[in-house]
Chain A
Amino acid sequence: MKEKRNIGQMITTVLPFAALVALFFIFIGVVNMKGYRLDMYLKIAFNEGVVLAVVATGAIFIYTLGTFDISLGASTLFSATMGVMTYNKTENLGLMILVIFAVGIICSLFNSVLASVFHIPAFVTTVAMMSVLTAVAAKIITTEGGALGGIRIPSSVLKPFDSMGCKIALLVIFFAVSLFMFRFTKVGRRQKFIGGNPLCAYLTGIRYNKYTIIAFVMAGIGVGLGAFLTLVYTPSVTTTTASSIGMNIFIAIVFGGMPISGGPFSKIYAALVGGFSFMLLNDILEIVIESNAAYGITQIISAVFFLIVVYLTSMNYRTAMLPR
């Protein structure tokens, strides 16, 4: 019995890393084979992955509790929108950054507070929040942006941050803080415990609401950082900004080897590993498959991969969940 578990656990632990490494080398191979510029392609892949990795890392705290948040993409859009509005009104960079993070955290907090006030599952409120935030952001963007279809800040404002060094530093700092919280503090440990068995956690005197709120705050910080990095990359916000993030978070986290149900096997690095794996996979498919082949073929292959990963990871957790 024990052996089986160990092999299973080893696979779920090692597989995501192995996949990332494999994808990385395949990516290099494919880019080289096509004769494209590798240095540029690596940078592109990093830029694509970093926002997803950051937002997803924050989201891990929510997923760990066994719930999820589908409004994160909308929150990112909304907080970027508010950031741009702030800058255009005040021309104050510091204030803009402050607003971006504050809005990110408030949006997220609102979800959890609503959920605890009305005693409904948090993901239900996130569904509502997603629509509301998207609508409000779209209203602001289209009214303010008019015929341009979007709002923007001068590209020079965030130029100083637009370097690999700076982005990596931000990612590393946020990840380190998250890792520390997740692994080495009471907060992270209790969140994992709640995810494993909320009823038992309650009967152990753990306050569900408190840890839900903390989880959503962490996710909110991730959203703020994600919105900031989005603006660093493209200093404009349109109604479709960050639109793909909401769904991709889910895929990234699963790619990274995190069980969908959260709990004790939750892994903070899943977001990082999965986010970049997912982006590399997409880029590889995009390069390899001729664009005049049927549209959507890359998505179908991605989806097949996704199912395989879910199967492989859940297989282990499933057996773990059933008592002997």
Chain B
Amino acid sequence: MVEPILQMKKITKKFGSVTALSEVDLAVYPGEIRGLIGENGSGKSTISSIAAGMQKANSGEMIFKNKAWAPQSMIDALDNGIGMVVQESGTIAGITVGESIFLGELDPFTNRLGWVNKKAMFQKATEAMEAIGVTSVTGDMPMSALDFQTRKLVEIAKVVRKNPSILVIDETSTALSHDGREIMYRLIKKFRDDGKAVIFISHDLDEIMEVCDTLTVLRDGNLIRTFTKEEYDANLIRTSMIGRELKGDYYRSDFKATSLDEIALEAKNLKYKEQLKDISLQLKKGEIVGIGGLAGCGMHALGKALFGALPLESGEVVTGTGKKITDPHVAMKQEIGYVSKDRDTESLSLTASIRDNIAIAGMDRFAIGGFLVTAHKESKYVKEQIENLSIKCASPNQSVSQLSGGNKQKVVFGKWIGCGSEILILDCPTRGVDIGVKQAMYQLMVQLKNEGKAILMISEELPELIGMSDRIFIMKDGEMKMEFKRSEMLSDADIIQYMI
């Protein structure tokens, strides 16, 4: 029997009165890709962050390479063999890729006078990026010039460069598009083949089953079960994740493209930089239109453009009644709702309460005379949305920043559904959301469709596009490449070729 490289024994972690981890035992072996899966708040991120020195356990013991393991910080942990790529990490504005990678370790590039040899640092950074298979990024590029996915890759490079014995990857793949993921999968496999270990945390059951050799399920701070590859069974894993059987449909149950005849929203020859090259599109009432493509294909820009939030070079967006959408204010008046991909910065005011975030769009509905906001009416309105969407929260006055990703997204949905949006533009609506909530959202979309509302869903995940859309458009380099109609026969493979 091979000795585990890392052993965690009876790890308990409390945040105030909340127990995040309760006496969890976890052993990771060399040459293993270990998946950690669980709903938000299950403790999967907590346990890995304890191993990686980001926080300390209240009790319990860790043994790494046969020695007691008590890292003082993430840097300490990384220097000694456990490196973690975190889920959400702030990048400091205004710094270069090189500075980002070598942040805190500029000494080797610093001469006696305190001058940093930037050229050498940039060169090393470029090499670090190449080492993980990214050739398009050089060390002297400013971080702000990179897109979300590339920044993530820089972070991965930063950790991998130190050549840790265990690589922890937390929810990173949700930020990555197809080719970004390929890079990451290659890296993970290389780690395994080199006899090191990887702890891979994800929401995405399909992905985690594909990538990992063993899979540990956590729920409410408890370790539920560890599956070996032979034991993999999607339904069984799902059930152990949510503690009950997932009842009802996941995606839509029908396979027929349906819609009402009336046009809800129409884009005519939209042009915007390299991202929208003469895009035209019709969205009908009672229809779900899916937009797919790789990151940078222009689909996110399209979402914004339809909401009037992009200064278009030419073309126009009009509603079925002929009203031109010129800015978000007009869009909102025309009962259009927009859920951004960048939920935390564009769709929510994180410091504000759940009440504030839900009520803000609906004030015209419940304010007396469209002006006077009474606590009673507002509470009633907010409570309705919280109940309809079963948002898990202590009270409406709780700050949204305290909610899990899924519940945050529900708040955003509540904001737009509550105010009676007839057209919903959803950009990656299930990003960072766990299965239980995902299912609820898919079913909600079905319900909205049946009510005659029009939905445009932009997504990087093909299964949900196929599972939900009446029509799917694939974009590439700012152009519409292909349109697919809903069909039982439609598969990932049919679509992917138009994306790459």
> Which A residues lie at the B interface, using CB under 8 A?
1-5, 184-187, 189-190, 192-193, 196-197, 199-207, 263-265, 317, 320-321, 323-324
Which residues in chain B, 343-401, are within 8 Å of chain A measured between CB atoms? 344-353, 356, 359-361, 363-364, 367, 370-374, 394, 398-399, 401
Partner of B349, one of A4, A185, A200, A317: A200
Chief secondary structure at chain B's binding surface? mixed
Closest to B370 in A: A186
CB contact between B373 and one of A5, A189, A197, A207 (< 8 Å): that residue:
A189
B residues adjacent to A (C-beta < 8 A) = 15-18, 88, 307, 309, 328-333, 338, 340, 344-353, 356, 359-361, 363-364, 367, 370-374, 394, 398-399, 401-402, 415
Assuming the contacts A3-B17, A265-B351, asked whether A204 and B332 have C-beta atoms less than 8 A apart, the reply is yes
Q: Within 8 Å CB of B394, what residues of A?
A: 2
Going nearest first, the 10 A-B pairs with the smallest beta carbon separation are A205-B332, A196-B349, A264-B352, A197-B349, A3-B16, A205-B328, A205-B329, A196-B352, A186-B363, A1-B15
Question: For A196, what are the chain B residues with a Cβ–Cβ distance below 8 Å?
Answer: 349-352, 356
Partner of B346, one of A1, A200, A207: A200
Closest-CB distance, A268 to chain B (whole angstroms): 14
CB neighbours of B367 from chain A (8 A):
185-186
> Inside 8 A of A2's CB, which chain B residues have their CB?
16-18, 394, 398, 402
B-chain residues with CB within 8 Å of residue A202 when the two chains form the complex = 309, 328
- Chain A residues, Cβ within 8 Å of B415: 204
Contacts of A4 in B (CB 8 A): 16
- CB <8 Å contact, B16 and A1: yes
CB–CB B351/A205 < 8 A: no
For A317, the closest partner residue in chain B by CB is B351
CB neighbours (8 Å) of B328 from chain A are: 202-205
Given the contacts A189-B356, A203-B346, A184 and B374 also touching, CB distance less than 8 Å: yes
Q: Are A200 and B16 in contact (CB under 8 A)?
A: no
Compute how far the CA of A324 lies from the CA of B363 in the bound complex, rounded to whole angstroms: 29
Cross-interface CB contact of A186 among B329, B371, B399, cutoff 8 Å: B371
**Structural contact, A197 and B356, CB atoms closer than 8 A:** no
The reply to whether B361 and A320 form a contact with Cβ atoms under 8 Å apart is no
Distance from B310 Cβ to chain A, minimum over Cβ atoms (Å): 11
Nearest residue in A to B18 (C-beta to C-beta)? A1
Q: How far is the CB of A170 from chain B (nearest CB, A)?
A: 24
> Is B353 in contact with A264, judged by CB distance below 8 angstroms?
yes
Known: A263-B352, A264-B349, A320-B351. 19 other contacts (CB 8 A): A2-B17, A4-B16, A5-B399, A184-B372, A185-B371, A186-B363, A186-B371, A189-B363, A193-B352, A196-B349, A196-B350, A196-B351, A197-B348, A197-B350, A200-B346, A203-B309, A204-B360, A207-B329, A264-B353
Q: How far is the CA of A189 from the CA of B328 in the complex (A)?
A: 18
